[in-house]
């Protein structure tokens, strides 16, 4: 696994978000993935992750864009990596971006890398 392979996964995440395509968003996660949202909601598996994002794309995140910056990739094995990323949700109104930090564990599953664990975190106000 290299940084380019990790970036490809997050490029797919950005594209799915831009299209409000929850099914494509869910496909970057494994069928047994664990996803913890910024509000500490927990979803297990790509189907639950897709369903949760379908709701979000139609409500609180409707019309938003996602920019993912891969800050660091730590190789844990030949087919396993930990990625630290910044997720910036661009909100058109009121124009305030939501900046989140996340950690993702990615694993090669067949020919593709998929996210098997993801935790989103919001920085505390200082």
Q: What would the pLDDT profile of 68-90 be if each residue is shown by its tens digit?
A: 999 999 999 999 999 999 999 99
- pLDDT of 125 > 90? The answer is no
* pLDDT mean over 24-30: 97
CATH 3.10.450.50 fits 3-121, yes or no: yes
Residues 6+ apart with CB under 8 A from 13: 25, 28, 66, 68
pLDDT of residue 126: 59
Q: Band of the pLDDT at 4, cuts 50, 70, 90? A: confident
For the chain, give the percent of residues with pLDDT over 90: 79
- CA atoms within 13 Å, Cβ hemisphere of 86: 8
pLDDT at 92: 84
Contacts by 30-33, CB closer than 8 A, 24 or more apart: 30/107, 30/109, 30/114, 30/115, 30/116, 32/116, 33/114, 33/115, 33/116, 33/117, 33/118
Any idea where the domains of the chain sit in the sequence? 3-121
């Amino acid at each position: 696994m290299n940084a380019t392979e990790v970036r490809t996964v997050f490029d797919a995440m950005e594209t799915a978000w831009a299209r409000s395509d929850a099914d494509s968003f869910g496909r970057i996660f494994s069928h047994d993935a664990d996803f913890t949202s910024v509000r500490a909601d927990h979803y297990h598996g790509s189907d639950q992750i897709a369903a949760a994002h379908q709701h979000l794309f139609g409500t609180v995140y409707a019309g938003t864009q996602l920019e993912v910056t891969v800050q660091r990739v730590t190789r844990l094995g030949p087919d396993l990596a930990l990625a630290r990323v910044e997720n910036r949700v661009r909100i058109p109104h009121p124009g305030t971006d939501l900046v989140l930090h996340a950690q993702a564990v990615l694993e090669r599953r067949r020919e593709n890398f998929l996210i098997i664990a993801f935790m989103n975190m919001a920085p505390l106000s200082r």
